[in-house]
Structure 1
Amino acid sequence: MSTSSSRSSSQSSRGMTDITWTHVIDGVNPNGRKTLKCLHRGKVTRGGGIFRMKQHLAGTKGDVGACLKVPFDVQYLMRESLKDIRIKNKEKVDSSKYNTPYGAPIHRLEGDMLNEDNEEFCPSEIHINESRFGSQQKLLVDAMTAIESGYKHPNYHGLRVNLLRDAKKEVQLFVDSYRKIWENVGCILMADGWTDNSHRSLINFMVYCPKGVCFVKSIDASDVVKDVGTLLKMFEEVALWIEPNSIVHFVSDNGSNYKAARRMLSEKYPSITWSPCATHSINLVLKDIVEMDHIVYLARRASEVTKFVYNHTFFIAWLRRRQGWKEIVRPSATRFAITFIAMRSLYEHKHDLQAMVTDKSFVDS
């Protein structure tokens, strides 16, 4: 394996979730350079990262000598991990060869042409994965066969201008059909504040009526102070677009600024009543519960059990062979309910985990 390939692979394997970290200790030498030490033989490396230590434990020929004291099962895991890395690197190289500004098309292969003598025929560059979309593919084929010969597909300009304009008009007609329901029976306006992956503070506005839920607009509030006056202006703008007399109820988050803004909106338009978001209220209750000392202790212990199981390939493989096994829900930094969902999941796996620690293969490992 070349040095550049080793470097790229080591960078992709530096995360502390790599199984190799359970067999090495990271440290710093007197010169301030990071080092990795093998727990089995004591081998110390000063470069190459976790990938070089993976080669050491796997016993493969490369930039570092093989570990002579590593257990067979650990050596097997390291070799399988290296094999997966080689496959992923090959896939990346293969896909990068054919990338275009519009994606990665399927290139012409032997047999693509229905008639090799007809030079005017050129196959469509449809990705082979499209064949997996069963129902969508069937609808596409049915639509194509229903069109008579002589049909010309739209060009780039048609797709970018005419069809896009028609699609926008179709959506507008769809929303207008909802507006009639709002006028006749009333509707509920909902404001949902959230933060996306780019750390933008967004507020989504949706309207509910007996016909269904309709998305109205999304406001990027990242660069504004969400005080009472600003929120009231946003809420009133959407309410005027819907028609205040058509709104019978307004639901939003439970922040003090949101409470004050919706109360002022209700005072200005008496037909609009308001209530806090039930989901947000439940999350606030769970937030207080999850901060209790005994819940913090239980959550930490549950996380340790889960990490131990999923960081040892042999044990998780043993559990997955048990009848009726379902994956353990692992906590993540989302809403507070996930802590309780994860602990309940762990409780439901109680007998499987007890059976694992009393099994002969666990005791002898």
Structure 2
Amino acid sequence: MKLACLYCGKSFAGGGINRFKQHLVGVKGEVEPCCKVPADIRHQMIQNIQAISEKKKRTKEMGEDYNPFSARHKEHEEQVYYRQLGEDDDIQEISPSSNKSTGNTRGKNIEGEKEKQLETIRNYFMPRTTPGAQPTIKSLLQNKEAVEKCDLAVAKWMIDACVPFNAVNSKYYQCMIDAIASMGPGYKAPNFYSVHGYLLTKNVDEVKKYVESFRATWKKIGCTIMADGWTDQCRRILINFLVYYPRGTVFLKSVDASDTSKTADMLYKLFKEIVMSVGFENMVHVVTDNAANYVAADKKLEQDFPTLFWSPCAAHCLNLIMQDIGKLVSVKNTVAHAAGITKYIYNHCYPLYLMRKFTGGKEIIRPAPTRFATNFIALQSILGHKDALRAMVTSREWTTSAYAKDSKGKKLTDDVLNSLFWNECATIVKLTEPLIRVFRIVDSDDRPSMGYLYHAMHQARNEMIKRFRRRKIVVEPYLRIVDSR
């Protein structure tokens, strides 16, 4: 069977219909892509190929379910086996009842002696609920219904109390479960007044003692003071002070600076108070924002304490780089163009429905860590959905709708089909992508990133030069901003 493409005229002697679909989609490495296929046809072919691959995957999974030698079948047999063992283990011993008072007294004495013997035996064994202890036979052979019942009780409490699901990732979560299990049935949990009163005070005292135990380490190897200024939902200006040393980061205190202006003199007095409380002989480094008032305050601090060194926050420096890049005329116009597309789509119900239909339920804008990086993350996202947006504005559903005949709808169609905008968007994304990657490394909470920062910045700068080796005029403004910061 011989197939011919109606758009570009290329003919295929073999490979079947699947190879022809790959030609329309433009799968690299398989077949030469079609350069004249419309965006909506390409989008339909992509959805068709994805649907076929998902159907094959489901067929394979169903075959594994019916295969008696598959891993799923073996796992099901093991579950049935352990469930039967659990049912056999649920046998309870029923003591014979007696109406005679002497029999009851003797039974109580025997039970008391047995309890004393058990208490004596328990002294020689590790508690079953401590981490790493040997589990009981009953807990190993416990049927799945009992375990699921317990899990449902925990989940129901979390849902009813609106406890965030990521609370189970706390390192104290399993400790709490073990402590409750060790108390046995009948344990009465602390009430509201105990938790927010005595128990809260007890925990605060423990944390204070824990922080005080670090001062000896600060005296031995030194520490770094970090100042983080931010504004809360009530528009209060707060400055958090943290102490960093090799064992970790400790929150020191938070200062409300709403009632005063954050001048260099005010910040200098505040920093000096923190330095004296920690001990200037224990400090070697101060990290703050790169704002002018912070820089001036830290210069005064270095004059009073010659052993201190100041450096700006790396994440804040990258923020300022992104802010300066955003002020370039070409970047500003491209961001405004993209903002016009996203604002129109998200402010109208039917265009939003169509956009989600053509993108497969995905959004074209995503939140970013800071307001300066948000614009460049949005450009990356909208560029990734270029074909879907073009397919949307050229589809029959859009062209026959009332929105397409409106002046704003016509402007949206022109903006999406504007090839100059997409070329400029691709250029900006290529230039800022290495910097966004560095930003994610610096802003990560998983591990300290200073050991990777300088190498990452050099690598990002070289990557920007490499991508525009033949167009040095385009990359030069970006490099000047990076070098100045």
Q: Judge same fold: TM > 0.5, yes or no.
A: yes
Higher relative contact order (CA 8 A, sep 6+): 2
Distance in 2, matches of 1:322 and 1:351, equals 9
Which of 290, 314, 318 is the equivalent residue of 1:282? 318
Q: 1:194 to 1:128 in 2, by over 3 A?
A: closer
Q: 1:164 to 1:317 in 2, by over 3 A?
A: same
Cα deviation digits, residues 3-37 of structure 1 (max 9, x gap): xxxxxxxxxxxxxxxxxxxxxxxxxxxxxxxxxxx
Which of 318, 335, 340 is the equivalent residue of 1:304? 340
SS in 1 for 2:214: helix
Distance in 2, matches of 1:222 and 1:207, equals 23
Alignment-derived partner of residue 40 in structure 1: none
Which of 205, 210, 215 is the equivalent residue of 2:246? 210
Alignment-derived partner of residue 270 in structure 2: 234
Shift of 1:360: 2.1
Which of 211, 214, 220 is the equivalent residue of 1:184? 220
Which of 399, 403, 406 is the equivalent residue of 1:363? 399
Shift of 1:296: 2.2
1:257 aligns with 2:293: yes
Shift of 1:302: 0.6
Alignment-derived partner of residue 195 in structure 1: 231
Q: 1:360 to 1:257 in 2, by over 3 A?
A: same
Residues 123-142 of structure 1 correspond to what in structure 2 (within 5 A)?
Answer: 128-130=159-161, 133=165, 136=168, 142=178
1:327 aligns with 2:363: yes
1:343 aligns with 2:374: no
Residues 1-365 of structure 1 correspond to what in structure 2 (within 5 A)?
Answer: 128-130=159-161, 133=165, 136=168, 142-148=178-184, 151=187, 153-154=189-190, 158-322=194-358, 326-329=362-365, 335-365=371-401
Scaled by the length of structure 1, the TM-score of the pair is 0.58
Q: 1:306 to 1:235 in 2, by over 3 A?
A: same
Farther-moved stretch of structure 1 (144-153 vs 224-233)? 144-153
Cα deviation digits, residues 193-235 of structure 1 (max 9, x gap): 2222211111111111222221111111111132222211110
Alignment-derived partner of residue 452 in structure 2: none
Shift of 1:175: 1.4
Cα deviation digits, residues 252-280 of structure 1 (max 9, x gap): 12222211211111121122101112222
Alignment-derived partner of residue 4 in structure 1: none
Give the number of the structure whose residues are more often helix, by fraction.
Answer: 2
Q: Which amino acid aligns with 1:192?
A: D
Q: 1:322 to 1:143 in 2, by over 3 A?
A: farther
Shift of 1:152: 5.0
Shift of 1:130: 4.1
Shift of 1:306: 0.6
Alignment-derived partner of residue 44 in structure 1: none
Shift of 1:333: 12
> Which structure 1 residue ranges, 5 or more long, are not aligned?
1-124
Cα deviation digits, residues 27-85 of structure 1 (max 9, x gap): xxxxxxxxxxxxxxxxxxxxxxxxxxxxxxxxxxxxxxxxxxxxxxxxxxxxxxxxxxx
Distance in 2, matches of 1:212 and 1:288, equals 33
SS in 1 for 2:303: helix
Distance in 1, matches of 2:210 and 2:369, equals 37
Residues 306 and 330 of structure 1 are in contact (CA less than 8 Å); yes or no, is this contact kept in structure 2? Answer: no
Distance in 1, matches of 2:387 and 2:174, equals 46
Identity of counterpart residues, as a percentage? 40
Residues 331 and 339 of structure 1 are in contact (CA less than 8 Å); yes or no, is this contact kept in structure 2? Answer: no
Distance in 2, matches of 1:156 and 1:331, equals 37
Residues 193 and 202 of structure 1 are in contact (CA less than 8 Å); yes or no, is this contact kept in structure 2? Answer: yes
Distance in 2, matches of 1:145 and 1:195, equals 43
Give the number of the structure whose residues are more often strand, by fraction.
Answer: 1
The root-mean-square deviation of aligned C-alpha atoms, in Å, is 3.1
Q: 1:188 to 1:203 in 2, by over 3 A?
A: same
Q: 1:294 to 1:230 in 2, by over 3 A?
A: same
**Segments of 4+ moved more than 6 angstroms:** none
Distance in 2, matches of 1:331 and 1:141, equals 36
Residues 252 and 276 of structure 1 are in contact (CA less than 8 Å); yes or no, is this contact kept in structure 2? Answer: yes
Aligned length: 241
Alignment-derived partner of residue 77 in structure 1: none
SS in 1 for 2:371: coil
Q: Which amino acid aligns with 1:169?
A: D
Shift of 1:301: 1.1
Cα deviation digits, residues 154-182 of structure 1 (max 9, x gap): 46654444212211111112212433332
Q: 1:235 to 1:306 in 2, by over 3 A?
A: same
SS in 2 for 1:198: coil
Distance in 1, matches of 2:288 and 2:368, equals 25
Q: 1:220 to 1:179 in 2, by over 3 A?
A: same
Q: 1:152 to 1:355 in 2, by over 3 A?
A: closer
Shift of 1:127: 7.3
Q: Which amino acid aligns with 1:278?
A: A
> Which structure 2 residue ranges, 5 or more long, are not aligned?
1-155, 402-485
SS in 2 for 1:336: helix
Residues 189 and 247 of structure 1 are in contact (CA less than 8 Å); yes or no, is this contact kept in structure 2? Answer: yes
Alignment-derived partner of residue 78 in structure 1: none
Distance in 1, matches of 2:348 and 2:392, equals 13
Distance in 2, matches of 1:342 and 1:183, equals 47
Q: Which amino acid aligns with 1:347?
A: L
Distance in 2, matches of 1:321 and 1:139, equals 46
Alignment-derived partner of residue 417 in structure 2: none
Distance in 2, matches of 1:131 and 1:222, equals 32
